[in-house]
């Protein structure tokens, strides 16, 4: 009796049955091959090492908590919750797993998958934000409604979704755990065109979130000053080079990355001189 309990819930279901399809809400066993991945699964990647650890635990103790599935078209079932357990069961070589079948809508299916992952902290900040975005866009839910479903406050949902406004390169840094969600919110404080350079600055100097928050506005000012100096130096260089070519007064005007170059001539002779110089340059 103790041996069976130690092997987990799957040990309590007779092997002789092979496959037992539970009634609605009841516990039964299904072949792994008949369970399809959840199309609304918010997690995009698995920690390989943790998956191996879970697989080893399943080999030793069985699957304690059954997977939740819903009936799909044909004779197959679609996973609602328990993707890590399913993947670990496959890795362990299990042919069947314990399940609970529920009849749910697409919205409920997504909600249950998100809730399980969020509660277990299995999602990275970008996966979590994308899951909330799906709930908002595909199911037309407000941030307040999502917060109520997930069990978090509205500001948390809104702040999570704001991360998706970052440049794609910064989003990838957060998804790869190079930067945290807190870093992402600090980066959003910088001007849009400076967000990627600021993210690279945070990585280079290994700033924590509080340091990044303190640096955000100052970084924008420093970059603007540096850019203005570069433009000023380049403008003077261009004026000198054009003077050498045309032997005329040249003025370079620049503002916010845009500008114009003006050649000044005082008589028809200097105008002809410009034309002759350009013809020689062809």
Does residue 202 belong to any structural domain of this protein? no
180 CB-near residues (< 8 Å, 6+ apart): 125, 174, 209
Residue 221 inside a domain? The answer is no
Domain assignment present for residue 40? The answer is yes
- Boundary (domain end) residue, out of 104, 119, 143: 104
Q: Strands 67-71 and 258-264, how do they pair?
A: unpaired
| Each residue's pLDDT tens digit, 180-207 | 999 999 999 988 888 999 999 999 999 9
Q: What pLDDT is attached to residue 150? A: 81
271 within a domain of the structure (yes/no): yes
Q: Convert the pLDDT of each residue in 213-250 to its tens digit.
A: 988 877 765 555 555 555 565 667 777 777 878 787 88
Q: Which domain holds residue 268?
A: 234-280
Last residue of a domain, one of 85, 104, 123: 104
Residue 159 lies in a domain: no
CATH number for the domain harbouring residue 94: 3.90.1530.30
Looking at the 3D structure of the chain, how many domains does it have? 2
Q: What is the pLDDT of residue 187?
A: 95
Q: Among 59, 78, 104, which residue terminates a domain?
A: 104
Q: Which residues are catalytic?
A: 83
Q: Supply the pTM of this predicted model.
A: 0.59
With respect to residue 133, please indicate whether it lies within any of the assigned structural domains.
no
Q: Identify whether 94 is part of a domain.
A: yes
Q: Domain for residue 217, yes or no?
A: no
CA–CA distance, 213 with 190 (Å, rounded to integer): 9
How far is CA 255 from its chain centroid?
35
């Amino acid at each position: 009796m103790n041996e069976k309990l130690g092997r987990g819930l799957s040990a309590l279901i007779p092997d002789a049955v092979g496959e037992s399809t539970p009634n609605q809400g009841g516990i039964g066993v299904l072949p792994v091959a008949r369970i399809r991945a959840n199309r609304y699964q918010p997690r995009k990647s698995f920690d390989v090492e943790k998956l191996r650890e879970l697989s080893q635990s399943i080999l030793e103790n069985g699957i304690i908590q059954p997977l939740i599935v819903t009936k799909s078209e044909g004779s197959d079932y679609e996973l609602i919750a328990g993707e890590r357990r399913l993947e670990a069961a496959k890795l362990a070589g299990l042919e069947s797993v314990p399940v609970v079948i529920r009849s749910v809508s697409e919205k409920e299916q997504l909600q249950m998958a998100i809730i399980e992952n969020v509660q277990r902290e299995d999602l990275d900040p970008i996966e979590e934000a994308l899951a909330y975005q799906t709930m908002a866009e595909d199911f037309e839910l407000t941030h307040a409604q999502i917060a109520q479903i997930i069990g978090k406050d509205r500001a948390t949902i809104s702040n999570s979704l704001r991360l998706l406004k970052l440049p794609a390169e910064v989003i990838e840094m957060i998804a790869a755990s190079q930067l945290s969600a807190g870093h992402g919110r600090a980066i959003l404080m910088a001007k849009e065109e400076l967000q990627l350079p600021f993210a690279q600055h945070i990585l280079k100097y290994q700033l924590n979130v509080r340091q990044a928050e303190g640096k955000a506005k100052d970084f924008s000012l420093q970059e603007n000053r540096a850019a203005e100096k570069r433009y000023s130096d380049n403008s003077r260089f261009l004026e000198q080079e054009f003077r050498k070519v045309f032997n005329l007064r040249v003025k370079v005007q620049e503002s916010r990355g845009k500008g114009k170059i003006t050649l000044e001539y005082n008589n028809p002779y200097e105008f002809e001189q410009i034309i002759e110089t350009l013809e020689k340059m062809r």
